[in-house]
Chains A and B, each alone.
Chain A
Amino acid sequence: DGGITQSPKYLFRKEGQNVTLSCEQNLNHDAMYWYRQDPGQGLRLIYYSQIVNDFQKGDIAEGYSVSREKKESFPLTVTSAQKNPTAFYLCASRKQEQNTEAFFGQGTRLTVV
């Protein structure tokens, strides 16, 4: 089945540690996105990539890093510089053409302990 897979579903991080969230898609989509969602709030864009080996900062990129070495994969690293990393992280992908819908993974809940 085609889709987007995020792992792990739950992740615990100690303060000062970097952690990497995985996002893999087999939809053959060029564009991939990372969003952060806090309780009761909407989606805020962290980073996005429209093509392999290229990515752009979103609205809240500070404290995060990404890579796009393969079309299928867009991992997100939450660094120790991110002061308030506890949140629900969502990965999405879509076709490159305008006016196309995005498809989401099931999310990773990151908690700082």
Chain B
Amino acid sequence: QKEVEQDPGPLSVPEGAIVSLNCTYSNSAFQYFMWYRQYSRKGPELLMYTYSSGNKEDGRFTAQVDKSSKYISLFIRDSQPSDSATYLCAGPAAGNKLTFGGGTRVLVKP
């Protein structure tokens, strides 16, 4: 079982809709999570990071962690065509490494 899993998508939404992205994780010791956005043929860029349970908001983005169900989510409000990208979730791993989900491809249609 992978430590972090994501639905690969693609997830297609109309412009202005809310994009909802989810990851599940297996290691209950994880307390720190990150979301990255990756445009085609570019390196991932950090969107948000969050500790433990609860919500964290940054502009149109909200990150949510539910430790009881080992579920992490990213919501994008008022989605724009420029939000079309692959979104990767990540959590800590042994040996000061990070473990990544496989990424969810999002397409926002004008």
Contact = CB atoms under 8 A, between A and B. Distances in A.
Interface of A: 4, 6, 31, 33, 40-43, 45, 48, 50, 56, 58, 88, 90, 92, 94, 96, 98-99, 101-107, 109
A43 B105 CA distance: 14
A33 B100 CA distance: 13
B26 interface: no
A99 B32 contact: yes
Q: At the interface, is chain B mostly helix, strand, loop or mixed?
A: strand
Contact of A103 (B46, B97, B105): B46
A86 to B, nearest CB: 14
B41 interface: yes
Given A42-B101, A43-B88, A99-B32, A50 B96 contact: yes
B21 interface: no
Q: At the interface, is chain A mostly helix, strand, loop or mixed?
A: strand
B59 interface: no
A42 B103 contact: yes
Contacts of B51: 99
Contacts of A99: 31-32, 51, 92
28 contacts: A4-B43, A6-B43, A33-B97, A33-B98, A42-B6, A42-B100, A43-B44, A56-B95, A58-B97, A90-B43, A92-B98, A94-B98, A98-B32, A98-B92, A98-B96, A99-B31, A99-B51, A99-B92, A101-B34, A101-B49, A102-B46, A102-B98, A103-B46, A104-B36, A104-B44, A106-B42, A107-B41, A109-B41
